[in-house]
Amino acid sequence: MYLSGNENSNQGFFNKKDLLNYLIRGGHIFIRAKVDRVPRKMVFEKDEQKVPLKNIHNVIGGGHRGRDGTMEKLKDIYF
């Protein structure tokens, strides 16, 4: 894991190469997308995890896709 000041810690979970797979925008962490995909937002807090489900369900073309359809839509955007 690379800490501020470029200090290397062997106790971390990620190395510098792994960190290239992530980006930060607007204070949120995203996993970089593969070709032809949008970056997926990472959601950590339990209370935040309900917001994406509500958002996906309430947009035009979103609701009543069933459990599997809703999960597929969520996985396209969130991690």
User: When comparing pLDDT for 10 and 75, which is higher?
Assistant: 75
Read off the tokens for 36: 């032809």
**Eight-class DSSP state of 25:** E
Predicted confidence at residue 22, as pLDDT, reads 80
What crossing angle do the helices spanning 46-58 and 66-77 adopt, rounded to 10°? 110
Distance CA 22, CA 28 (A): 10
User: When comparing pLDDT for 5 and 55, which is higher?
Assistant: 55
For the segment 22-79, what is each residue's pLDDT rounded down to a tens digit?
Answer: 878 888 777 777 777 777 777 777 777 677 777 777 766 655 667 777 777 777 766 6
Range of the domain at 31: 1-42
Q: Are residues 38 and 61 in the same domain?
A: no
Domain total of the chain: 2
0.75 exceeded by pTM = no
Q: Are residues 55 and 19 in the same domain?
A: no
Distance CA 79, CA 21 (A): 13
Distance CA 74, CA 66 (A): 12
